[in-house]
Chain A
Amino acid sequence: MMVQLATFTLGDHLYGIEVSRVQEVLRHQSRTRIPLAPNAVAGLVNLRGQVLTAIDLRSRLGLTPREDLDPMMVVVRISGETISLLVDSIGDVVTVDEETFEAPPDTLDDAGRELLRGAYKLSDRLLLALDTDRAVAA
């Protein structure tokens, strides 16, 4: 079984989410911060008149905050709600074989492991498959 994943990077890792979940990929836009909101909620963005909640995956995965780097936005639709995920950079859409799938590597910390379904072993590196539903349930 082959699956298609849209890839992006966070720090040194390559992550992927199901292509069918992704509505579009955008450059960073100005966000309105939301005081008192959970840490991972990075603010609200205006997507063509629609107000989206932005979730910073770095914060969600327990990674160090992004430094002087404008994040990219991966807009996903999850149970009727449109959500913008903030990532470092966008990669290609890759087709991977389910055969190469394995449970999350032990090198990840707890916060990260909980949000990952597992990893696909690409020829040169690992592609970590994000559990989209859990990732946005901040």
Chain B
Amino acid sequence: MDETDEIVQEFVVESHENLDQLDRDFVELERQPGSRELLSSVFRTIHTIKGTSGFLAFGRLESLTHVGENLLARLRDGKMSMTPAIADGMLAMVDGVRELLAAIETDGTEGSVDVTDVVARLQDLLDGREPVAEPVAEPVAEPVAEAPAPPAPVVVPEPAAASVPAPTPAPAPAPAPAPATPAVPKVAAAVTATEDHHADGPGRRGAADSSIRVDVDLLDSLMRQVGELVLSRNQIVRQAGLLDDADLLRASQRLGLIASELQESVMKTRMQPIDHLWAKLPRVVRDLGSLCHKQVRLEMVGRETEVDRTLLEAVKDPLTHLVRNAVDHGLETPEVRRAAGKSPEGVLTLKAFHAGGQVVVEVSDDGAGIDPEKIRAKAADKGLMRPEQLEALSPNEVLQLVFTPGFSTAAAVTNVSGRGVGMDVVKTNIEAIGGAIEIESAVGVGTTCRLRIPLTLAIVASLTVECAGDRYAIPQVSLQELVTLDSERAGSQIEDVAGAEVYRLRGQLLPLVRLADVLKVESDRTDGHLVIAVLQAEGHRFGLVVDRVLNAEEIVVKPLSSRLKSIGVYSGATILGDGRVALILDVQALAKRALRSTGAERDAVRAEVVETSDDSERVLIVGAGDEREIAIPLSAVTRLEQVPVDRVERVGSREVVQYRGAILPLLRLPQHLGSYGDSARTHLPLVVHTSGGRSVALVVDEVRDIVDGARVRSDINDAGLTGSAVIRDKVVELLDVRAAILAADPYFFTDDQLGHLGADLYLDGVAS
């Protein structure tokens, strides 16, 4: 019972925070009605409350949030638009939730709070009926009156609540003020109720008193300062070693000792066993199992594994989500399992351990596994990729599609999961804390999700490498292994596939990316030896060729200015033991930049289709009016598309098309470059460029070819171009991509930079 109490208390604390967030979102929503971002945020909050209330068997709360969530889902997906009536319904829902939570907080049950009318009203809205004014006021006033605990304070608010709707019976705009008015006394009553309990029950405290929350910023700054201290210590110890001064040496050694101890203690204050996080999962699994009619045995390995408190917070939701997913989608029902020759009881295993300066948390089930074909079908169905693109993906790459926003494989929307707010959010959350997520699955055997999270936020385990005399740090989280080849083996085992270098690593082709080429610097390795860091990012594996591997080192991440971040290769900087600055490579961005967007890792059979990884030298040739040929660097091309002319719509003076649920601004390239395009077309070929979540499309006359970059370049130039070149014996103009993108969307880079700015702020908070 105690365990349940703890869960309920935690739920209440958490939900109060969620409600505060809701209030903020609703206020903001009034200013920007229809903002999808806000609606999504509201939706997620309600979704969270609903999910937990379901497990804790708060039926009324669940039914209320369920219908609210449905309504929000429609708003978010643009199937309904915000009206005053809906806004009021939403607010009534929030009030209902608040009231139920207050009841739950006082005695652990939903008490006698009645929300059926609010539910009915939301259902009406959902079905497109205007709500009737009468019941609106009633449900809100009533539960308060019936609430058994504090009869006294109710008397005052009640007449006020009841009197308002009476003179205004039916007209449509009338309901607007009605729910708002009763909301006030109701909340007041709820508060009084809690206070009453304070008075007569000394053992029970309100949610706000039962836990103290230390400001994360404070802990972070403490951690950061210790990090700095450790770095300074390293420098002093190094310098003291050079000088011949016994006293200084002793003092520096003592400093070193104290600094290490201090670092350890500070880290310990923030460390907690992962069991804190897992403690509530058995209940979640049991309830969910019975809800889905599944038999589940939960096994936990490595409960005592310690994780930084802030990280624990950060992985809480993703982990819960993965567990729900595993029970809901992963494990089969007993009948199916018996038929497949398995024990009717499914096993869900949680495993945590430290490995290489990281914490690895695995959620595995021995269920049906994920069928890549189903994912392919689903992705094609959702229009995430074109069928031929999907066909080219390896099974492992297909699996990674589950992390795409809006992707959900559950056939039906269930009470538990399957609304597409799933894996992409998990991935985003994990990556936000510098972690990584991998998924492995075998049909009929089971699925494993593996989270790799850093030990702490401020200090990152990294590998220092050298390239062209400069040192770079690679976060260990992306590193899989190191391979060194002597010149003889490098000569014979590095193969060339259509211009791209690959190495056969245990039978699999590993595309190689030379860091010196990416950075456009001269490698100083002349002996032919090859040092390959095998990295995993974005579901791809690739080998980064560096000059030398220096050592593994704990580094303190320093933010970079947004300008340098936008180069797209560096995620930050750090100061090494000798006081010099080293750049931290952004492995995710590097993977995206250096490899094609799909298909980096392929098996030997399809080796022929591996294309050159050096996109910077390959260009897309398009026709753009007046017989002109324009070259666009392939690295700037995300996709090629065709849209019918009649799908082009206008926003002010700009042309746009609706594309994958977003508005895609168009730029007619011929006009941009001052010539006339081919206007007698039914379909427009588009060159889509996507970066930082924004896309623009360049309308061209014709997509002609993809060729290796120009050998001869000239500066002969015109507006919108960066120069010209001779390609296939013809003069081709090189497009100034940045200018073209800005012409299509003047805020393209601004937002990008804002995004970077956000990241900077984030880093500031943890590591500056």
| B564–A41 CB distance below 8 A | yes
> Closest B-chain residue to A41, C-beta based?
B564
Q: How far is the CA of A32 from the CA of B580 in the complex (A)?
A: 7
Known contacts A49-B231, A53-B563; 14 additional CB pairs below 8 A are A32-B471, A32-B583, A34-B583, A35-B468, A36-B569, A37-B564, A43-B581, A44-B573, A44-B581, A45-B581, A49-B228, A51-B574, A53-B560, A53-B564
> Which of A37, A43, A46, A81 has a CB less than 8 Å from the CB of B567?
A37
Given A36-B520, A44-B583, also A53-B561 (CB < 8 A):
yes
Contacts of B520 in A (CB 8 A): 35-36
A30 at the interface (CB under 8 A from B): yes
B453-478 near A? 1/0 per residue, CB < 8 Å: 00000000000000010110000000
A13-48 near B? 1/0 per residue, CB < 8 Å: 000000000000000001111111110010111100
B674 at the interface (CB under 8 A from A): no
Q: List 29 A-B contacts (CB under 8 A).
A: A32-B470, A32-B471, A32-B573, A32-B580, A33-B470, A34-B567, A34-B570, A35-B468, A35-B470, A35-B521, A36-B520, A36-B569, A37-B567, A41-B564, A46-B575, A46-B580, A49-B231, A49-B575, A50-B768, A51-B558, A51-B559, A51-B560, A51-B574, A51-B575, A51-B581, A53-B561, A53-B564, A81-B561, A138-B563
> Closest A-chain residue to B516, C-beta based?
A35
| A30–B580 CB distance below 8 A | yes
B673 at the interface (CB under 8 A from A): no
> Closest B-chain residue to A45, C-beta based?
B581
CB of A98 to closest CB in B, whole Å:
33
| B582–A32 CB distance below 8 A | yes
| B579–A46 CB distance below 8 A | yes
Q: How far is the CA of A75 from the CA of B569 in the complex (A)?
A: 26
Given A32-B581, A46-B580, also A51-B573 (CB < 8 A):
yes
User: How many B residues have CB within 8 A of the partner chain?
Assistant: 27
> Closest B-chain residue to A33, C-beta based?
B470
Q: How far is the CA of A117 from the CA of B228 in the complex (A)?
A: 40
Contacts of B580 in A (CB 8 A): 30, 32, 46
Chain B interface secondary structure, helix, strand, loop or mixed? Answer: mixed
| B581–A46 CB distance below 8 A | yes
A-B pairs, top 3 by smallest CB distance, nearest first, are: A35-B519, A32-B581, A44-B581
Q: How far is the CA of A38 from the CA of B566 in the complex (A)?
A: 11
CB of A84 to closest CB in B, whole Å:
12
> Closest A-chain residue to B568, C-beta based?
A36
Q: How far is the CA of A43 from the CA of B520 in the complex (A)?
A: 15
B232 at the interface (CB under 8 A from A): yes
User: How many A residues have CB within 8 A of the partner chain?
Assistant: 20
Contacts of A34 in B (CB 8 A): 564, 567, 570, 583
Q: How far is the CA of A138 from the CA of B470 in the complex (A)?
A: 23
Q: How far is the CA of A41 from the CA of B583 in the complex (A)?
A: 14
Q: How far is the CA of A37 from the CA of B520 in the complex (A)?
A: 11
Contacts of B228 in A (CB 8 A): 49
Q: How far is the CA of A33 from the CA of B468 in the complex (A)?
A: 11
CB of A78 to closest CB in B, whole Å:
11
> Closest A-chain residue to B232, C-beta based?
A49
CB of A47 to closest CB in B, whole Å:
10
Contacts of A50 in B (CB 8 A): 558, 768
Which residues of B from 604 to 646 have beta carbons under 8 Å from A?
Answer: none
Contacts of B561 in A (CB 8 A): 53, 81
Contacts of A49 in B (CB 8 A): 228, 231-232, 575
Q: How far is the CA of A43 from the CA of B560 in the complex (A)?
A: 12
Q: How far is the CA of A53 from the CA of B560 in the complex (A)?
A: 8
Q: How far is the CA of A35 from the CA of B472 in the complex (A)?
A: 11
Q: How far is the CA of A26 from the CA of B582 in the complex (A)?
A: 21
CB of A97 to closest CB in B, whole Å:
36
Which residues of B from 500 to 537 have beta carbons under 8 Å from A?
Answer: 519-521
CB of A88 to closest CB in B, whole Å:
23
From A35, A37, A44, residue with most partner B Cβ within 10 Å: A35
Q: How far is the CA of A37 from the CA of B560 in the complex (A)?
A: 12
Q: How far is the CA of A35 from the CA of B567 in the complex (A)?
A: 9
> Closest B-chain residue to A44, C-beta based?
B581
> Closest A-chain residue to B521, C-beta based?
A35
From B470, B569, B570, B583, residue with most partner A Cβ within 10 Å: B583
Contacts of B583 in A (CB 8 A): 32, 34, 44
> Closest B-chain residue to A83, C-beta based?
B561
Q: How far is the CA of A34 from the CA of B566 in the complex (A)?
A: 13
Q: How far is the CA of A71 from the CA of B231 in the complex (A)?
A: 27
Which residues of A from 100 to 121 have beta carbons under 8 Å from B?
Answer: none
Q: How far is the CA of A120 from the CA of B570 in the complex (A)?
A: 41
CB of A46 to closest CB in B, whole Å:
5
> Which of B519, B560, B573, B582 has a CB less than 8 Å from the CB of A36?
B519
Q: How far is the CA of A38 from the CA of B573 in the complex (A)?
A: 17
Given A49-B228, A49-B231, also A36-B581 (CB < 8 A):
no
B568-600 near A? 1/0 per residue, CB < 8 Å: 011001110001111100000000000000000
> Closest A-chain residue to B573, C-beta based?
A51
Q: How far is the CA of A50 from the CA of B224 in the complex (A)?
A: 12
> Closest B-chain residue to A49, C-beta based?
B228
Q: How far is the CA of A11 from the CA of B468 in the complex (A)?
A: 30
> Closest A-chain residue to B760, C-beta based?
A81
Contacts of B567 in A (CB 8 A): 34, 36-37
Q: How far is the CA of A30 from the CA of B558 in the complex (A)?
A: 18
CB of B575 to closest CB in A, whole Å:
5
Q: How far is the CA of A33 from the CA of B598 in the complex (A)?
A: 32
Q: How far is the CA of A49 from the CA of B227 in the complex (A)?
A: 11
Contacts of A45 in B (CB 8 A): 581
Q: How far is the CA of A44 from the CA of B583 in the complex (A)?
A: 9
Contacts of A44 in B (CB 8 A): 573, 581, 583
> Closest A-chain residue to B228, C-beta based?
A49
Q: How far is the CA of A45 from the CA of B471 in the complex (A)?
A: 14
Q: How far is the CA of A66 from the CA of B521 in the complex (A)?
A: 21
CB of A59 to closest CB in B, whole Å:
15
Q: How far is the CA of A33 from the CA of B519 in the complex (A)?
A: 11
CB of A35 to closest CB in B, whole Å:
4
Which residues of B from 724 to 768 have beta carbons under 8 Å from A?
Answer: 768
CB of A66 to closest CB in B, whole Å:
20
CB of B580 to closest CB in A, whole Å:
6
Q: How far is the CA of A51 from the CA of B564 in the complex (A)?
A: 12
CB of A60 to closest CB in B, whole Å:
13
Q: How far is the CA of A53 from the CA of B573 in the complex (A)?
A: 11
> Closest A-chain residue to B515, C-beta based?
A35
Q: How far is the CA of A46 from the CA of B228 in the complex (A)?
A: 13
Q: How far is the CA of A124 from the CA of B43 in the complex (A)?
A: 70
Which residues of B from 443 to 495 have beta carbons under 8 Å from A?
Answer: 468, 470-471
Q: How far is the CA of A43 from the CA of B567 in the complex (A)?
A: 14
Contacts of A31 in B (CB 8 A): 581
CB of B472 to closest CB in A, whole Å:
10
CB of B400 to closest CB in A, whole Å:
27
Contacts of A37 in B (CB 8 A): 564, 567
Contacts of B570 in A (CB 8 A): 34
Which residues of B from 299 to 324 have beta carbons under 8 Å from A?
Answer: none
CB of A134 to closest CB in B, whole Å:
14
Q: How far is the CA of A44 from the CA of B565 in the complex (A)?
A: 13
Contacts of B558 in A (CB 8 A): 50-51
Contacts of B559 in A (CB 8 A): 51
Contacts of A81 in B (CB 8 A): 561
Contacts of B575 in A (CB 8 A): 46, 49, 51
Contacts of A35 in B (CB 8 A): 468, 470, 519-521, 569
Q: How far is the CA of A34 from the CA of B521 in the complex (A)?
A: 10
Q: How far is the CA of A44 from the CA of B521 in the complex (A)?
A: 17
> Closest A-chain residue to B561, C-beta based?
A53
Q: How far is the CA of A34 from the CA of B574 in the complex (A)?
A: 13
